Structure 1
Amino acid sequence: MHDTDAITLASQLCSRLCHDLLSPVGALSNGLELLADEEDPEMRQRCLELLEQSARTSANKLKFFRLAYGAAGGFGDRVDVTEPKAVIEALAADAKRVEINWAIATDSLPKPAVKVMLNYAQMGLDALVRGGTLDVGAERRDGASEIVVRAAGPKVAFDVSVGKALEGLLPADGLSGRTAPAYMLSILADSCEGELQYQLSEEALVLGAVLPG
């Protein structure tokens, strides 16, 4: 990757982070303003509930960004699967109308596999605009991590440019906050001689990965 491409990727990932945090952080600000001016006990309680929900959503998103985009400091080379599972469950709770099914056959995963699992889960949740089921599977086999995420529901939505980014077919200068995570995964997979793939139908979006190491 050229330096300019790396800068573009970092910039777009930052844009995605800011975009996703804008709503809950903005709600926190609004809630504090309302709380400062409100004297009715019932309304103050509603303000506190809004603040609690917004703070929880912000914290969940930051946990996601730490593991999905960042270096995940504080963890070793492998991450206990309870960590990404908790993050995905929190994101699905915020998305609403999404049921998660787990098929995890390992206690821990390398950091690159965790990044793939989390970003795939986010793509799956984004695709379930009208709710549905999110199946998340992972296992270690023959020295490699295998990840699969299946999002099924009515009107599954998936931007084809995200698919092109996963396949490494989208140029860096064409990145956006929406496609940057997929582009990052394609670089990650290339670095470890792994493989990413996806399949889209009217019923479901299936995302798969095999990452050696």
Structure 2
Amino acid sequence: MTQSGLDIAALLCSKLCHDLLSPVGAINNGLELLEDETDPEMQDRCMELLADSAAASANKLKYFRLAFGAAGGFGEDVDPAEAKQLVESLVGNQEKIALGWAVQSATLPKKAIKILLNLALIAREALVRGGRLDIGAEAGDQGIEVVVRAEGTKIALDEGIRAALEGTLPEADLSARTAAAWMSRELTLHNNGDLRISPASETELLLGAIVTG
């Protein structure tokens, strides 16, 4: 692995640790509360907190394993249903974000699934006030086409992430916040594809990628 590859891996690890800090910290807090709590009702609430936090931690690990890692448990092709379950866990409360899923293929190349999951993560994080997240993918004449659309009352996309997706972010300016976007573009280009992002808008974000083969 090159030094650049090592840097990207380190930044992705930093993002993973950052995103896991909240649910793992909640587990620790729940255990501390449970240790001192004697009221049965409060004990039940502590157990609910522990269960929710443990599920959130497991879901994030599963998501990052396929989105960022080698995902050795999968072959070169992945059932999109696996990705749908991961995105559903990412969306969480359906009252805040509605999920639209339009992936008809029985299988997709793992590289396309990785790009789909990374773009979905970026779009989800941009929906700071909730809204709708639509995800589509299909095999076309030019390759696998992936489209992710976020719509809401407030789209908040970090300028560094936008620059990483557009390919204008200097590699020296990479951070844990922008590493996933950078990886998404590099993975797309490495597979002779293309990645596009819609112009800045307060209510809509459209991300698209084409991956060959």
TM-score (ref. length: structure 2):
0.95
Q: Which residue of 2 aligns with 1:207?
A: 207
Identity %: 52
Change (3 A) 1:207 1:160: same
Distance 1:94 1:7, change over 3 A: farther
Q: C-alpha separation between the residues in 2 aligned to 1:158 and 1:170?
A: 14
Aligned to 1:126: 125
The TM-score, its normalising length taken from structure 1, stands at 0.95
What CA deviation, in whole Å up to 9, does each residue of 1:127-159 have, x standing for no partner? Answer: 110110001001011261100000000111111
Matched residue, 2:143: 144
Q: How far does residue 187 in structure 1 lie from its aligned partner after superposition?
A: 1.4
Show the counterpart of 1:92: 91
Look up the SS of the partner of 1:183 in the other structure.
Answer: helix
> Does 2:38 match 1:33?
no
CA RMSD of the aligned region, Å? 1.4
State the shift of 1:163 in Å: 1.6
Tell whether the 8 Å contact from 1:5 to 1:173 is kept in structure 2 after alignment. no
Say which SS state the counterpart of residue 92 (structure 2) adopts.
helix
Q: What pairs up with 1:45-194 in 2 under 5 angstroms?
A: 45-93=44-92, 97-142=96-141, 144-194=143-193
Is the Cα contact below 8 Å between 1:9 and 1:172 reproduced in 2? no
Per the TM alignment, residue 171 of structure 1 is displaced from its structure 2 partner at its CA by: 2.2
What is the count of residue pairs matched by the alignment?
212
| Counterpart Cα distance in 1 of 2:128 and 2:94 | 9
Distance in 1 (CA, whole Å) between partners of 2:155 and 2:167 is 23
Q: CA deviation at 1:168?
A: 2.3
Secondary structure at the residue paired with 2:148?
strand
Gaps of 5+ in 1: none
Deviates more, 1:78-87 or 1:138-147: 138-147
Structure 1 residues 157 and 75: CA distance shift in structure 2, 3 A: same
- d(CA) in 1 for partners of 2:173 and 2:9? 13
Distance 2:93 2:62 in 1: 14
Letter in 2 for 1:50: L
Deviation of the 1:99 alpha carbon: 0.2
Q: How far off its partner does 1:96 sit?
A: 5.7
C-alpha separation between the residues in 2 aligned to 1:137 and 1:204? 16
Check conservation: 2:142, 2:210, Cα contact below 8 A: no
Kindly provide the CA deviation profile for residues 89-135 of structure 1, in whole angstroms up to 9, marking residues without a partner as x: 11101586000011112111111111111111111111110110001
Shift of 1:11: 1.2
Q: Please, which moves more after superposition, 132-141 or 156-165?
A: 156-165
Q: CA deviation at 1:88?
A: 0.3
How far apart are 1:202 and its partner, in Å? 2.6
Contact in 2 for aligned 1:8/1:173 (Cα 8 Å):
no
